[in-house]
Structure 1
């Protein structure tokens, strides 16, 4: 996987170098220095969109090398980059033309908007602003995951409008046949990866495996497990700790998809997901009829034993984040020197606790159930307290999965305790906005 990471960095550096060569080769625009800055920002914007497409394509090699959680974090930062470039690029272009023509900027804006390719670019910028505005933390908390995901489908419209805008306005790409071949080859590569990863492969796999609901088992008042069967499930090559993106045709709309971890190690015959009722999809899973069709994308995620560096392991789970940890407990490669910390508000919230205890007992692992509100003397993830509970923590691989606040607190503590970063494996589930 080191090779894959090196290739990614080479890809970024080479393409940024070529972009600057395109900028120089195209020559100065008629709109002067401001317009020149706008053109360069436009090139950056176009390349940032290419990178964003590759990030959402869910390329298996990238997932295995970096993990879907890290890729999702990069997707967020790339989205913010696209947002600012989408604002600055037209701002500099408009300012350049306004200064060159000695016309007020509002009048220049109206003149440029009368040109269809420019107008399409402005519509794309507006949609980018809408998506980013609804993705900031304050707005995100008020939206269900399903609504948030539907809003992000607007980005495909942005992508289409952006490409059309480049066809007519991207003068730096049309200097000669070489620059045209490079630029559209780059876009063909990105869109090909997107169509392959998000459409072609999922369709082929789901046609092959024909997934169906085998059983629906309530685990508590708001948690349910769904057992899924199908054909040749061993060919999925799923591993304990990974997750799928699940669709349930007839239960929710085709564009609504939810990431749920496997809560049991895949055995080649069935898959199990366990979900807490948070949004409309997860809340309605208990009503799924046996035999209902299931459409799954994946497996995704690097929260597996493939990255383990030490024979001893510490696993920390919070709330419903216990699901991939429970699956890892079944992995035969885990070994026997295992400690599990299961953090919940109360004993009633400890779903799958009976299974966790049985699995821990079977392999001689230690399971600590920690309940109560955090505060005062009850701060289990304070550095001193965690060190007291796990004296040899720096000699263990640490797997952490739970709500974002818990995960961030644990990661901060691990840094304080000087646990090497290569031994820390965390799943924040930023794709879902929660665990």
Structure 2
């Protein structure tokens, strides 16, 4: 293992600053509102179904519990849509990574509630008509009002959930997975009508108003922030490819020029969803992080070929039109509360770190970058990083070599620095006074987070961005 340090930290002692206590943020009411919506659903069920008092016979119990699980599944489906509707203040409050994880957890909870809903109603029909249960099930899933749509919608949602399981995602290209995931909107829409025609909880006017408002808010949010706002920004800022530069084998940087890009208030560390209008497949967007600080008329991203969409980037030509969604992400200098910065990156995860290093406010000796990569030929931005380090007084630590183990963040080799915790303490003795920014593969990020916490960093001072889908 080779350890290269450029401009070691000087003896200047940075000013001590206490970690800012977390105050009220827009994130605080979000969880409460989500819980309140589920409580409201249960309250509606109790008022309309009689709650536990209505569970007097086996078939009534199955039907009533089926109604409850269906209502909760619908509520969580709406919440899923809202979480990833790209609502700006929601994105800023929680961060895209956290929203994505919670979207996934809520999705699986909604799925199992939906399965319980279907199974309980099927059991109710069988109990009521044991001698003609096949006919009863056909009516339930096919011939009753809007039930065929609901059945098709349920099958679509099952397909989406199955392809979202980690083992299944590994076998799919990102573009294929993303296309299949969009069918969840069709599935939700198909299951929507039967709730109003068949659900007992929708017979009261005020109950209908509640659900119409809930569905309407989710639909309007998705329409406004997933379609209308990105379309308006793309038309207004008129982004085009200015240049394509090869950084390493399979890695290219794309510089895009546009009009009044400062109006988007983009910060280093954020990402956009990019669509290059270069031919078939343009409609499938890909998330790429800025690899240089944004300017009034230019944005730069750096892409590693990992699928059809990213591989096409090397073939882009100057002048190609670009559609964008964003900016998203909270891996920015706005999260700083500590006197020092420690940036740790692996592989292509160096892209947001290079941008952060370039324009974040810090004095010489207050920033350290640890960059881990497999082979020298795959290292990205090493010359640019050295230039920034020389100019701004950054301690630059390069750690080349294959990863030591799946549970370690360090490279393998005879010159390693002990276990993960010892290595961090050796390289950054005052890690407890640092904001720690981490970007790379999920498992590697987990190893860094564990080591940094054990070495003395506060968990609230560790900021991450996963390069995964």
Interval of TM-score (by shorter of Structure 1 and Structure 2): over 0.9
RCO higher in structure (CA 8 A, sep ≥6)? 2
Q: Do 2:274 and 2:325's aligned partners in 1 also have CA atoms closer than 8 Å?
A: yes
Q: Which residue of 2 aligns with 1:425?
A: 463
Q: Which residue of 1 aligns with 2:31?
A: 9
CA 1:170 to 1:417, structure 2 compared with 1: closer, same or farther past 3 Å? farther
Moved more, 392-401 or 248-257: 248-257
Is it true that 1:358 corresponds to 2:380 in the alignment? no
Q: Do 2:348 and 2:440's aligned partners in 1 also have CA atoms closer than 8 Å?
A: yes
Secondary structure in 2 matching 1:419: coil
Determine the C-alpha separation between the residues in 1 that align with 2:328 and 2:212: 29
Q: Do 2:371 and 2:397's aligned partners in 1 also have CA atoms closer than 8 Å?
A: yes
Determine the C-alpha separation between the residues in 1 that align with 2:284 and 2:195: 31
Q: Do 1:2 and 1:65's aligned partners in 2 also have CA atoms closer than 8 Å?
A: no
Cα offset, 1:116, TM superposition: 4.6
Is it true that 1:74 corresponds to 2:102 in the alignment? yes
Is it true that 1:48 corresponds to 2:76 in the alignment? yes
Secondary structure in 1 matching 2:161: helix
Secondary structure in 1 matching 2:46: helix
Is it true that 1:134 corresponds to 2:172 in the alignment? no
Cα offset, 1:373, TM superposition: 2.0
Determine the C-alpha separation between the residues in 2 that align with 1:14 and 1:295: 37
Is it true that 1:236 corresponds to 2:264 in the alignment? yes
Q: Equivalences for 1:24-423 in 2 at 5 Å?
A: 24-27=46-49, 31-103=59-131, 106-113=134-141, 114-175=143-204, 177-336=205-364, 337-375=366-404, 378=416, 382-423=420-461
Q: Do 2:269 and 2:331's aligned partners in 1 also have CA atoms closer than 8 Å?
A: yes
Q: Do 1:401 and 1:407's aligned partners in 2 also have CA atoms closer than 8 Å?
A: yes
Cα offset, 1:55, TM superposition: 1.3
Q: Which residue of 1 aligns with 2:44?
A: 22
Determine the C-alpha separation between the residues in 2 that align with 1:413 and 1:26: 53
Cα offset, 1:144, TM superposition: 1.1
Q: Do 1:262 and 1:327's aligned partners in 2 also have CA atoms closer than 8 Å?
A: yes
CA 1:255 to 1:306, structure 2 compared with 1: closer, same or farther past 3 Å? same
Determine the C-alpha separation between the residues in 2 that align with 1:425 and 1:348: 28
Moved more, 160-169 or 188-197: 160-169
Determine the C-alpha separation between the residues in 2 that align with 1:235 and 1:105: 63
Determine the C-alpha separation between the residues in 2 that align with 1:46 and 1:380: 51
Cα offset, 1:223, TM superposition: 0.5
Determine the C-alpha separation between the residues in 2 that align with 1:105 and 1:292: 60
Secondary structure in 2 matching 1:182: helix
Determine the C-alpha separation between the residues in 1 that align with 2:34 and 2:249: 48
Cα offset, 1:118, TM superposition: 1.8
Unaligned runs of 5+ in 1: none
Q: Do 2:343 and 2:368's aligned partners in 1 also have CA atoms closer than 8 Å?
A: yes
Cα offset, 1:275, TM superposition: 0.3
Alpha-carbon displacement from aligned partner over 1:247-294 (angstroms, at most 9, x marks no partner): 012344243110000000101110001000111111111111110100
CA 1:179 to 1:316, structure 2 compared with 1: closer, same or farther past 3 Å? same
Secondary structure in 2 matching 1:256: coil
Determine the C-alpha separation between the residues in 1 that align with 2:139 and 2:292: 60
Moved more, 346-355 or 293-302: 346-355
Secondary structure in 2 matching 1:231: coil
CA 1:357 to 1:165, structure 2 compared with 1: closer, same or farther past 3 Å? farther
Cα offset, 1:381, TM superposition: 7.0
Cα offset, 1:156, TM superposition: 1.4
Cα offset, 1:379, TM superposition: 7.1
Determine the C-alpha separation between the residues in 2 that align with 1:119 and 1:162: 9
Q: Do 1:315 and 1:325's aligned partners in 2 also have CA atoms closer than 8 Å?
A: yes
Aligned residues: 430
Moved more, 99-108 or 143-152: 99-108
Secondary structure in 2 matching 1:284: helix
Q: Do 1:252 and 1:281's aligned partners in 2 also have CA atoms closer than 8 Å?
A: no
Alpha-carbon displacement from aligned partner over 1:19-71 (angstroms, at most 9, x marks no partner): 11210121257941111111110110110011011012011101111111111
Moved more, 296-305 or 166-175: 166-175
